[in-house]
Each structure stands twice: as structure tokens, then as C-alpha cells.
Amino acid sequence: MQSVKELREMEESKLAETLAETRQELFTLRFRHATAQLENTQQLPNLKKTIARILTVQRERAMGA
């Protein structure tokens, strides 16, 4: 899980790439959870929070521009 400070220091292209990777990982974990193969279910809300942080940083940049 990345901190907001780390996310704010990233360039826009790297932030978009991180968002895509995190969404893909969330999809994979949801699939594993549905098939009862996921051992640590706490990963799901952690990834959702990371996605929200990334979207917040992107929104802040869009509003500031």
C-alpha cells in the first residue's frame, strides 16, 4: 500500500500506470475471493483505498490545473 505522499510525488503517467495495475490486482483478488482461494481478505479493502487515493491525487491535479 502506497502513501499519499508517494503518490503525489509520482508523474501523471506513472500514476495512471499504477492505477491500472492496482485495478487489475483488485480484479484478480475478487476472482480468487469468489472461488474461496483468497486467504487474506483484508487485501480487498486495502486495494480499494489505494485506488481511491490515486483517484483523489488525479482529481486534485485536474482541479489545480
With respect to residue 7, please indicate whether it lies within any of the assigned structural domains: no
Domain harbouring 50, CATH code = 1.10.287
In this prediction, residue 64 carries a pLDDT of 87
Q: Look at residue 19 and tell me if it is in a domain.
A: yes
pLDDT along the chain (65 residues), means of 10: 88 96 97 94 96 96 87
**Global pTM value:** 0.90
Q: What is the pLDDT of residue 2?
A: 79
Contacts for 7-16: CB closer than 8 Å, 24+ residues apart = 7/53, 7/54, 7/57, 8/57, 10/57, 12/58, 12/61, 15/54, 15/57, 15/58, 16/58
Range of the structural domain that residue 41 is part of: 13-64
Instruction: Give me the number of domains the chain comprises.
Output: 1
pLDDT at 65: 66
